[in-house]
A and B are shown apart, each in its own frame.
Chain A
Amino acid sequence: MLRPCRVNDIIMTNTPTYIGFEEYSEHVPASIPSAVQQATNRFVGGRAARVAELPQWEQLRQAGSDIRQHTIENMDVYLTRLEQKVLSAGGNVHWAETAADARRIVLQIAKENNVKTAVKSKSMATEEIGLNHALEAAGIEAIETDLGEYIIQIAGTGPSHIIVPAVHLKKEEVAALFSKHLGIDAPSDPIELARIARETLREKFLTAEMGISGGNFLIAETGTLVIVTNEGNGRMCTTMPDLHVAVVGIDKVIPDWESLTVFLKLLARSATGQKLSTYTQFITGPRRADGEFGPKEFHLVLLDNGRSKILKDPVGRDVLKCIRCGACANVCPVYKNVGGFAYGSFISGPIGAILTPQMLGTQTARELPYASTLCGACADVCPVKIPIPTILRHLRRRVAQGDEFSEPSMPAPIRFTADLAALALAWNWIYRFGARILPIINPFFRRDGWLTGMPYPLSRWTKVRPLPAFSARFRQWWNVRSTKEKGTTR
């Protein structure tokens, strides 16, 4: 069984005190990048094909970006409207300032309704607040029903990819998990394994007292929750139990149905290369009448958990435009080589690298803004044009120098070294003096023309690659060369 246990334990706690991206990356098993690359290559190809079909793709992206920007800038108005509409449709609205508040609200609803089993459709927001653990601690069985999420729930690992969370597991491993968990002899056949999951989970859908979902969009105009899925588990969770609780980030609000046309056209094409995902549900409050399926009670939990603070930063807040398609991860050379675990949070890839440090603080996630080569591929594919490299650089500055939102979080020796380097580069005479003086350390670390095994903090560099030996010869060479040139041109 391949699983990076330590990293995973950290993900599962949902309140990491420090995310060591560099250390986690070193512990990623080789099976993860190979599986992740298969997935990302397929999605990248699918996306490219769908984009090529739509001549107005760039206009769609621009509209998507503009509408999200507009919504962020007027978020209070749209959330107020949304709340009124959900209430007038007979639903309940709860505001959760923190993850703990959201957990408490959901547990309270479960308790009032005497819930023993809850079925869940895939949701980033419930991962973010660590809902499953809270439910289990309260004695409520919480079952993930998306096939991939179900597999990793049984396996006890975190997701390695936003769309296909269990892609790092081979079919033999899934069969072994099913056999052990269900007490059956499961074959190593994806189709047969899906059938087993269908039958097992069907029973849960029919008996669970509560369905829990996230939401892709919230339409302020009518108070409508939009849920996009492929398997149909999202429909099951919102159709079978008498109680439906949706936990959704406040950033998911959009103005109206007309805006939704833009996002539905962007989302599946960017995520999986489908024109539309199989099922898109539009839910406005609880069911209307008896004789109809659907929940009698509908609760919308609006989750802040740091989002309203992110809004204060005019550069960083663009992260809230995200529609969670995962396209940025699929093209990211760093993500493709480390997979989802290394990002130490519920959301990975480039978007995770700019969201997690803003939600948990740069003290906790100071390494994530550096988990990028700044190649810019993420910004090129983002359906809502989030300038991810710009925000990465913005957060790097916050880590290194601090800003109005946070103290610097880079370790003092590195900051000191960087300051020295900046000084040396700014003042010619210091640089020249350094170039003269530094070669005296060469004999202690030199292997051929290279320095290896330097002491901390330089060891952070030399453990990955050697440093060229210090030498003042370049300047000498340059002076000689320019004198010669002057000679020839004359």
Chain B
Amino acid sequence: MSNPILENIRRSLGRTEKASLGLRPVILKPRPPESVDSEIASFLDEIKKLSGVGQKISSAEIESALKNLVAQHNIRKAAVWNTPRLQQLQITNYLSSLGVELISPNADKHKIAECDLGITEADFILPETGTLVLYSSAEKPRAVSLTPRVHLAIVTPSALRADMHQVFAEAKDSRYLVFITGPSRTADIELTVTLGVHGPKNLYVWMMEN
């Protein structure tokens, strides 16, 4: 099959179609992991630097923390990832009892866009940069972490990875992946940092204590 662009490239480089691939240069090694406690501490510290709110939490504290969140941000509608852990934590039950209308995470995009709060997990977390890494699937729809004003991610220490090398090794065959590093931000008008321009304005990360 002839492709004029590839042919031009080969002509310019003086290569033939059969030319062998040279060895890819060596990449720097990943950052070595530290103790779980210190990784969690630096992760929460980074979230704070990014204008997010990160805290450790136990399952017993979830209900009251949700109550505060709903009151503080005047949450009326919410969408929650349909995952076993979030079900087990009874997130949707608590929200219902607080009078929050639950929208299916698989609902039409117009419905999802009306949500004030989106609750997800994180499939991986990177402590060095305060990054949440999320897959996308029918159970984990990507819009839940994107369109609401407030995004809450409930995470566990098992999601910790020292560097993005490990995340990529595990996740590179997935069809969609997103790194979330802080709330949506812009400085496009007079360099004034403004949060929540298209994505969430408020990012909460709750680290479950085992």
Query: A: which residues have CB within 8 A of B?
Result: 38-39, 42, 56, 59-60, 63, 66-67, 69-70, 73-77, 79-80, 89, 95, 97, 145-148, 151, 164-167, 169-171, 174, 190-191, 193-194, 197-198, 201-202, 205-206, 219, 221-222, 224, 230-233, 235-236, 239-240, 250, 255-262, 264, 274-285, 287-294, 302, 304, 308-312
Q: Is B60 an interface residue (CB 8 A)?
A: no
Q: Which chain B positions have C-beta within 8 A of A206?
A: 109-110, 113
**Can you list 13 contacts pairing A with B, beta carbon distance less than 8 Å?**
A60-B28, A164-B191, A190-B192, A206-B110, A219-B172, A230-B185, A230-B186, A236-B199, A262-B28, A279-B184, A308-B9, A309-B12, A312-B12
**Could you tell me if B165 and A261 are in contact, using CB atoms closer than 8 angstroms?**
yes
Name A72's closest neighbour in chain B (CB-CB).
B13
Q: Is B10 an interface residue (CB 8 A)?
A: yes
**Could you tell me if A167 and B191 are in contact, using CB atoms closer than 8 angstroms?**
yes
Query: In the assembled complex, how far is the CB of residue B188 from the closest CB belonging to chain A, in whole angstroms?
Result: 4
Chain A-chain B contacts (Cβ-Cβ < 8 Å), number: 238
**Could you tell me if B189 and A292 are in contact, using CB atoms closer than 8 angstroms?**
no
Bound form: Cα–Cα A63–B25 in Å: 7
Q: Which chain A positions have C-beta within 8 A of B191?
A: 38-39, 42, 164, 167
Bound form: Cα–Cα A24–B89 in Å: 62
Bound form: Cα–Cα A192–B164 in Å: 36
Which of B8, B136, B178, B181 is A304 in contact with, Cβ under 8 Å? B8
Q: Which chain A positions have C-beta within 8 A of B178?
A: 235, 279-282
Q: Which chain A positions have C-beta within 8 A of B137?
A: 288-289, 292
Which of A80, A167, A197, A257 is B172 in contact with, Cβ under 8 Å? A257
Query: In the assembled complex, how far is the CB of residue B205 from the closest CB belonging to chain A, in whole angstroms?
Result: 14
Q: Which chain B positions have C-beta within 8 A of A293?
A: 109, 112, 136, 141-143
Bound form: Cα–Cα A171–B187 in Å: 12
**Could you tell me if B185 and A309 are in contact, using CB atoms closer than 8 angstroms?**
no
Bound form: Cα–Cα A171–B191 in Å: 10
**Could you tell me if B179 and A276 are in contact, using CB atoms closer than 8 angstroms?**
yes
**Could you tell me if B176 and A283 are in contact, using CB atoms closer than 8 angstroms?**
yes
Count class of interface residues, chain B: 35 or more
**Could you tell me if B5 and A260 are in contact, using CB atoms closer than 8 angstroms?**
no
Return the 9 tightest CB-CB contacts between A and B, nearest first: A232-B199, A148-B188, A66-B25, A308-B8, A312-B12, A232-B198, A291-B138, A311-B12, A190-B192
**Could you tell me if A63 and B26 are in contact, using CB atoms closer than 8 angstroms?**
yes
19 additional A-B pairs beyond A164-B191, A232-B184, A284-B175, beta carbons within 8 Å, are A66-B25, A76-B19, A80-B6, A167-B191, A170-B190, A194-B194, A198-B198, A202-B147, A206-B109, A206-B113, A219-B172, A231-B184, A232-B197, A236-B199, A239-B146, A280-B179, A280-B181, A292-B137, A294-B176
Which of B10, B21, B130, B146 is A235 in contact with, Cβ under 8 Å? B146
